[in-house]
Amino acid sequence: MDAEKSEQLFKQVNILRDSFYEDNKKNIIFKSEQKNKLADKVCDTFDLQQMIRYTTYIIPYSNKIYFTYPLFKTYGNTDNCDNLCKYMKHVLISSILESNETFELHINLKGFTVSACQRFFSAIKSLIDGNKVLTEKMTQMCIYFTPGVIDQIKNLLYAVVQHILPKVTFYNTSESDSAIDILHNFETK
């Protein structure tokens, strides 16, 4: 199961992250450079394609794609965002649409911040902007662990996401764990 493998990989990456911060005191300011160094270390340690496969995957026996930002933020940078977007567009979405007319996108945004939105803006834009398949074939987008700063994030992304906002359902922190569990338990039916 991809969800289990994703969780295992996330635990391994967290061990590496903790070790990295033991050797390099966590910055209070100038965090971006340090986060990029950590992302480089994670990419040097783990296979990028495997990380992408476990960051975003199809929930078995469904038309649902799941993306977990908590894993992505450990290795995501401007150099590899494009790989992830291509994988989502050309592998996952295409695969679902071979046997389904529509798809849903489920996104775990735990830990997503305004600075993350700014850092990954071009990747988000690349995935959404001008993507007719996303506009026409996506029936629902669920955002789990909706950040408290979602209004600021929506303002930053408004030009890119305004056409899909009616399809978005936001889950707050207290609802997210159970909603994600229900989503993943679907694959055992």
Residue type, 77: N
Can you tell me the mean pLDDT for 24-53? 84
Name which of 46-50, 64-68, 162-166 the model is least confident about. 162-166
pTM of the model: 0.88
When comparing pLDDT for 107 and 20, which is higher? 107
End-to-end CA distance of the chain: 13
pLDDT at 189 over 50: no
pLDDT at 159 over 90: no
Structure confidence by residue, pLDDT tens digits, 80-135: 888 998 899 889 999 999 999 999 999 999 999 888 888 888 888 888 877 788 88
Structure confidence by residue, pLDDT tens digits, 131-152: 788 889 999 999 999 988 888 8
How buried is residue 15: exposed, middle or buried, by Cβ count under 10 Å (0-12/13-18/19+)? exposed
- Give the domain ranges of the chain: 2-188
What is the biggest distance separating any 2 CA atoms in the chain, rounded to whole angstroms? 50
Label residue 24 by pLDDT band (50, 70, 90).
confident
Pick the CATH number of 2-188 from 3.40.50.300, 3.40.525.10, 3.40.50.1860, 2.40.160.20: 3.40.525.10
% of the chain exceeding 70 in pLDDT = 95
pLDDT of residue 129: 77
pLDDT of residue 186: 60
Mean of all residue pLDDT scores within the chain:
87
Which has the closest alpha carbon to 135: 163, 160, 159, 154? 163
For the CA atoms of the chain, what is the radius of gyration?
16
Residue type, 47: D
